[in-house]
Structure 1
């Protein structure tokens, strides 16, 4: 094979090699009820690269009564109890979705909250997108505080690293999914294979 032709072929294939985005799903089924989720999904138990502030608690039904029902993943959900409930994903993501149920603790609690998606960790940097979270928990059901679940999703320009849930105290979420920044793994493997071809072609020329 002509070395120049092989070089051009390698450059073209590398440039066109696909990168693949991976969805990361956090179903909140693992942590014990009322435990802070913290680093559970950041290597403490499951290595998803996702961490949460101390006010993001896991919630499971027990003998004291059903706290939630009809959730997308039935074993557990997340509940927000304070402002330190930011989700961080240091690798970066380009889209997000989750199901939510909002049950105000007091009649005077706000009807709606805004959950922000930010370019930096811990809710810092540029606000890239926002979710409107409204009171929906008792919409057509009354068998538990969190019984009605709405789905919300967003995509945005740029790369996000955190979602600030802390403004929405007293609501629950389930099946949080983020679309991780694509990694060029396939392109790298292809480039290594083509490099070997080029070396062989150069030795023969």
Structure 2
């Protein structure tokens, strides 16, 4: 009987389902021009550095046809102290993949880089290049950035002042849920056998 609590503790400690954070950032609000996203999504465990929320208005009609039409985002860097890098930080970590939609008039090599630490620190886990898909930010492409390990930050500096983003999401992989369900099934079997 004492085996069951120990097995449950080992299962939850080892399962990647509990190592990463799940979220969907759709930027759906009216952003005043030049408004930083910053801690807007901190309740989801996500924070941004040097990323602006963008909404269309009478003077600014870019980023049309976005998956979530009210708002989008773009990394914004400047030649000023503190504004030279842009990040998406997830303290709880993202396991293996990040999905998003993007719009860009130019191909961008090294558009996003995944790092094991916050603000682009730690080990580089992967890099994704983005192809050009529009000339007026009206076309959006779904992309998945697969990388090795658990990322706590995504360096968006390579995409700054060029690429629009929408519907950024991190969802644990289906294999993670399958492994969790298999473990729970095994625990149920052990518990049933121990009752006999």
Aligned residues: 166
What residue in structure 1 maps to residue 24 of structure 2?
A: 25
Aligned partners of 1:26, 1:63: CA distance in 2, in Å? 25
Bigger CA radius of gyration: 1
What residue in structure 2 maps to residue 167 of structure 1?
A: 158
Q: How does 1:1-205 map to 2 (within 5 A)?
A: 6-16=1-11, 20=17, 23-30=22-29, 32-33=31-32, 34-42=34-42, 47-53=43-49, 55-82=50-77, 83-94=84-95, 95-103=97-105, 111-114=107-110, 115-138=112-135, 145-169=136-160, 170-179=162-171
Which is helix-richer, 1 or 2? 2
Runs of 4+ in 1 over 6 A off after TM superposition: none
Structure 2 gaps of 5+ residues are 78-83, 185-196
Structure 1 gaps of 5+ residues are 1-5, 105-110, 139-144, 191-205
Please provide the CA RMSD for this pair.
Answer: 3.0
Q: TM-score, normalised by structure 2?
A: 0.73
Q: Report Cα offsets for 1:185-205 as digits up to 9, x if no partner.
A: x9xxx9xxxxxxxxxxxxxxx
Q: Contact conserved, 1:60 with 1:77, CA < 8 A, in 2?
A: yes
Q: Report Cα offsets for 1:49-95 as digits up to 9, x if no partner.
A: 11111x31100010114211121111100012214321111111112
What residue in structure 2 maps to residue 193 of structure 1?
A: none
Q: TM-score, normalised by structure 1?
A: 0.70
Residue 167 of structure 1: SS of its match in structure 2? helix
